Amino acid sequence: MVEIAVTHRGSEFARVVALLDQFGKDHGLAPEIVADMQVAIDEVLTNISKYAYTDNAEHEIHIRFQVRGNVLEAIIEDDGIAFDPLTIPPPDLNLPLRERRVGGVGMYFVTQLMDNVVYERRGEVNHLVISKRINK
Amino acid sequence: MDVRQEKIGEVSVVGVTGRIDSSTAPLLEKHLTENLGAEKVRVVLDLSRLEYISSAGFRILLLAAKRADDTGSRFILCGLGGKVRQLFDLGGFLDLFTIVGAREDGIAAVQ
């Protein structure tokens, strides 16, 4: 298992991507699996960065990656407002260019790219687990 | 992510290598804003060396396509590989952009 904490402001999200690259190498994961997790993590972090905090303080987001059996799992925790990202409605994919918004696509990517997504509010913490089968 | 720019005749070809995500999207935005700054310009975005793109990147591409629309410009994407094409498809973006196969097709299509 590896862990990392990054500021919610986004300036350190690239460190998470780099950590996943290394983690993928260390565990012999297929680049495709690592890429799906990197996209999903970027969406989750972006979401937290945009919506979780109403104050101006800096907050830490904690992320853990682990391989459990046949599954690559990421656990993301933030101390923002209670919010279940699975309640975001899926985007309307049929709108023309002028009316398309990217909002909503991010969490949709997460649910589509991952095999399992579970949200829980634990005390003052949003606890999100996203996982993908690695089919070794 | 690395961005490489080339001018072929009247056509600006912008090639992206690596990943487009929330960390790298601002750099792509800068390049596309520069290239689509004038009226009636022609821009081909070559994504053949792109590994993946997250919604932060799609936001920039949508803005670029709208800007091109507003200025009578042409903005064409080419070289979508397996993973990248899958993400375009998942997000329902394949129909929103003009997408061609190879870079040469893109350059020919905007002439």
Interface touch A10/B52, C-beta < 8 Å: no
C-alpha–C-alpha distance, residues B54 and A52, integer Å = 20
In chain B, what residues touch A108 (CB-CB under 8 Å)?
90-91
C-alpha–C-alpha distance, residues B58 and B93, integer Å = 8
Task: Tell which wins on pLDDT, A56 or B53.
Answer: B53
Residue B65 is part of a domain; what is its CATH number? 3.30.750.24
Radius of gyration of chain B (CA): 12
Residue A55 pLDDT > 80: yes
Render pLDDT for B67-105 as a digit per residue (tens, 0 to 9): 999 999 999 999 999 999 999 999 999 999 999 999 999
Mean pLDDT (chain A, rounded): 95
- Total number of domains in chain B: 1
ipTM higher than 0.90?
yes
Angle at B10 between CA B4 and CA B15, to 5 degrees: 20
Q: How much is the pLDDT for A136?
A: 59
C-alpha–C-alpha distance, residues B10 and B4, integer Å = 16
In chain A, what residues touch B98 (CB-CB under 8 Å)?
none
User: How much of chain B exceeds pLDDT 70, in percent?
Assistant: 100
Structure tokens at A124: 């003052």
Q: Provide the domain limits for residue B85.
A: 2-110
Residue A98 pLDDT > 90: no
Contact (CB, 8 A) for A110 and A44 = yes
- For residue A124, give how far its alpha carbon lies from the nearest alpha carbon of chain B (Å): 26
Interface touch A105/B22, C-beta < 8 Å: no
- Total number of domains in chain A: 1
What pTM value is reported for the model? 0.96
Residue A119 is part of a domain; what is its CATH number? 3.30.565.10
Q: Which of the four pLDDT bands, split at 50, 70 and 90, describes residue A70?
A: very high
Q: Which of the four pLDDT bands, split at 50, 70 and 90, describes residue A30?
A: very high
Q: How much is the pLDDT for A113?
A: 98
Residue B23 pLDDT > 80: yes
Contact (CB, 8 A) for A78 and A6 = no
Q: Which of the four pLDDT bands, split at 50, 70 and 90, describes residue A100?
A: confident
C-alpha–C-alpha distance, residues A51 and A62, integer Å = 16
Residue type, A4: I
Q: Provide the domain limits for residue A10.
A: 2-133
Q: Which residue in chain B has the smallest CA separation from A107?
A: B55
What DSSP character marks residue A85? G
Q: How much is the pLDDT for B20?
A: 98
Q: How much is the pLDDT for A19?
A: 98
Contact (CB, 8 A) for A42 and A73 = no
Interface touch B23/A13, C-beta < 8 Å: yes
A96: contact with B, CB 8 A cutoff: yes
